[in-house]
Amino acid sequence: MRPWDGRLLVVAVCCATVGTAFALVIRSVDLTWSALGSSFALWALLVGAVIYGLSLSRPAGLLSFRGLDLLWGVATALALRFLHGLISEANLHPFPSAPLAEGAVTQGWWSSVVFPAVVVAPLVEELFFRGVILVTIYQIFRRGIGSVSAAVTAVLSSGGMFVMLHAAFDPLGWAEGMQLLAVGLMCSALVLATGRVWSAVIAHFFFNASYVGLALLGYLLSSG
């Protein structure tokens, strides 16, 4: 079994770059499915990098699950949502709201927004950024600069790449950029602290799901 090293990191970065370029091309086409199709095109390349990494070796315990992962994930998601509320000054803005059609939440919103954002994105992005990128960078630098410095390097690199990927598709304001960076940093910290990736997946899942919950609440308040 080959260790996760610079070769995997190069493959992962190439997959992310090619996937982003391919996704942007698809998004530029004026079709109803372009936005969703571009996301799945990108995710397919990210999954390819994850599969390649797992074909080389599996870091001990990375894919194992324990009950504490759920607790850490939910607690982190709540902290992230609270932090986002502070950064974006959510108390000065109305609730987000789900799109309406004849007084009901549109069916397309569930399939084109909720499912990809709540289910697919947390799984794929965490396996790629916190599984492959974070762990590979940590393993590359650990022997040379020590565990602490390697952890800081890996966390900042993974979080920075996470923000850059999202910025490639939509311009990010200060609040949005800080929000994404906080997600990247805290999810990275979870993986390094537990040695497992599922706490980060759960945190990302509940963070995105909490926005959907707020949007549904906004819909109920606006239609009440």
Q: How far is CA 14 from the centre of its chain?
A: 18
The pTM score is 0.89
20 occurs within a structural domain: no
5 occurs within a structural domain: no
The tally of domains found in the chain comes to 1
Res 93: pLDDT = 60
Q: What average pLDDT does range 132-143 have in this prediction?
A: 95
Cα(191)–Cα(187) distance, rounded to whole angstroms? 6
Residue 94 domain boundaries: 63-223
Q: How many beta carbons lie within 10 A of that of residue 70, not counting itself?
A: 15
pLDDT at residue 109 tops 70: no
- pLDDT per residue as tens digits for the range 14-39: 999 999 999 999 988 877 778 888 99
- pLDDT per residue as tens digits for the range 180-212: 999 999 999 999 999 999 999 999 999 999 888
pLDDT band at residue 9 under the 50/70/90 scheme: very high
9 occurs within a structural domain: no
- Decide: residue 72, CB within 10 A, 0-12 exposed, 13-18 middle, 19+ buried: buried
Q: What average pLDDT does range 78-87 have in this prediction?
A: 87
145 occurs within a structural domain: yes
